[in-house]
Amino acid sequence: MLQERTGPLAPYTVVDLTRVLSGPYCTMLLADLGARVIKVEQPGAGDDARAIGPFVDGSSAYFMSVNRNKESIALDLKRAEDRALFEALLDRADVLVENFRPGTMDRLGYGWDSVHARWPRLVMTSISGFGQTGPYSRQPAYDMVVQAMGGLMSVTGQPGGPPTRVGTSIGDLGAGLYAAVGTQAALLQRERDGLGQQVDVAMLDCQVALLENAIARFGADGRMPGPLGSRHPSIAPFDVFRAADGWFVIAAGSEAAFQKLCEVLELPALASDARFVSNALRCEHHVALKDALEARLAAHDCAHWRALLQEHGIPTGAYNTVAEVMQDPQVHARDMLLPVRAGDEAGTALTVAGNPVKIGAHGTRLHREPPRLDQDRASILAALDAR
């Protein structure tokens, strides 16, 4: 599928040297918002993610999930001919994104100082495990490493359980999100002063930033945050509760909501119980509170209770599996599922997550299927020759 690019970033061209997840996620977000993204891959193998399963018609579902709306050209930056082509791309680009370990781009001859001297308007976004500075900067990292080092694992899982990784690659995805934000901010700054800047995003930094509540709580009272299961550390009841046929969420985030909850559930004694008369006391006695609520909730199924709570304006939600999420009418109404195919329209469709950013009439747009390795060489070279 090939459509004319639209969206707020349509005027911009991004040269994408990234691979696996954090960088490709960043550049996919930019591509979804309209930027032209030219993915530069290693000849023969391409992005490492192309070899990670599962596979659909021989193509990696992992790769396909984060590389839509991009073009692909294979270049070996150690060969003079390919370096010349790469530099011709930079002549016309607005952004260069890379996620190598710090020092790699310098060894290739494309470190920030060299790039900025030759292409002063170019924004260079560098995503790495630990950033361009600091004692860990040259160390390798993966999602698992920064989830552990950044403290996120220490507040994930059930109390008393073993260290638990968040169920999605938040180390990579968080870095990709922050990198996309930083890239757009640097482009806005360039509109003012005409100069590109280096955007330096570290996966570890992003994990620390995402610990907002845990860090603030530790700073406030000195108590070490730990895993709490599904409940909120400072609001109750704010948790997943068991009904007759399964689990669902109740999030009574205010005193008024708790009083209304007790009324709707026909539990007037709960509202006046000395253990539960304030949010602080409810948090202190959260186990007893959950037991009392679940004793009542056992009388009916989840659908009954969710409908009743929704009717009275009490925040609630289903506990969905991935399969149930993919059937949810709200998810479909927001275009949050997108069918893609490997390289063209002939293959089997793979459903992937869409882009949650809606700007005016612009939502998720599939301009191009995830590219085959080097798929766009001819058209990219023809465009360079035309200039």
Active-site positions read: 232
- Determine the distance from the C-alpha atom of residue 194 to the mean position of all C-alpha atoms in its chain, rounded to a whole number: 30
- Confirm if 164 and 153 have CB atoms less than 8 A apart: yes
Cα-Cα-Cα-Cα dihedral sign, residues 327, 329, 335, 336 = negative
Cα atoms found within 13 Å of the Cα of residue 238, Cβ hemisphere only = 16
- Distance, in Å, from the CA atom of 149 to the CA atom of 357, rounded to the nearest integer, reads 30
- Distance, in Å, from the CA atom of 92 to the CA atom of 86, rounded to the nearest integer, reads 10
SS (H, E, C) 243-311: ECCEEEEEECCCHHHHHHHHHHCCCHHHHHCHHHCCHHHHHHCHHHHHHHHHHHHCCCCHHHHHHHHHH
- Distance, in Å, from the CA atom of 11 to the CA atom of 35, rounded to the nearest integer, reads 7
